[in-house]
Amino acid sequence: MASWCVRVVRQSYSVLASPALKRAPVRLLCTATQQKNGPGSEEEAEKTEQSPAEKVLTEEKVQLEAQLKDMTEKYKRALADTENLRTRSQRMVEDAKLYGIQGFCKDLLEVADILEKAMESVPKEEVTSQNPHLKNLYDGLVMTEVQIQKVFTKHGLLKLNPEGQKFDPYEHEALFHAPVEGKEPGTVAVVTKVGYKLHGRTLRPALVGVAKAS
């Protein structure tokens, strides 16, 4: 669309610059000068009148000027639309780079949840040197948890464990509201499942219980 407008504008300028169109305004000026100096004979008036060809050229000039103005406006609008499209496309590419892995991340969250549950199921009092097999297993789970969180952080995936924080509906999902002693109303009292954010966008809200006034 932009290239077509440019061709029309150039053609319009070439027509407007033709010698015939340049002579027409000069003759009109001569006519106006003679009328100002005083009435002349009919023969002089006929001489100063435009010929049919000049009238046609003048009308075409007016039409071409109007077309030129219209094409210029269309050209400017086409440029603006092209720039808007380029900006939107660039934003979409950037979002795809940042959030294109969110489906894969969601699948990994389930693995992280299972790993966390496995760690919680191990009785801490039994993790001693007297029980080396259980201790080695537990230490391996801890090391795996630390490593997987490092990988998450590297790719912009951060854990949300909002216990004690003020409830945020954009990051937390309330499972229940109940009065909890020692907890301020409107704060997260219990976290049943941690949440995650990917590059600042909530990928999975934390499942929480919210304290309310008794």
Pairing of strands 172-178, 206-211: parallel
Q: Coil, strand or helix: which one is 112? A: helix
pTM of the model: 0.59
E strand or H helix at 11, and its extent? helix 2-16
pLDDT at residue 27, rounded to an integer: 45
pLDDT at residue 23, rounded to an integer: 46
pLDDT at residue 10, rounded to an integer: 59
Q: CA 158, CA 149: separation in Å to the nearest integer?
A: 8
pLDDT at residue 32, rounded to an integer: 44
Spell out the per-residue pLDDT of the chain, length 214, in tens.
555 554 644 555 454 455 544 444 444 434 444 444 544 445 454 445 778 888 888 888 889 999 999 999 999 999 999 999 999 999 888 888 888 888 888 889 999 999 989 998 888 888 898 899 999 999 999 999 999 999 999 999 999 999 999 999 999 999 999 998 888 999 999 999 999 999 989 999 999 999 998 7
CA angle 114-119-120, nearest 5°?
95
Output the CA–CA distances (angstroms, integers) from residue 34 to 42, 49, 54, 69, in the order listed.
Answer: 12, 11, 19, 33
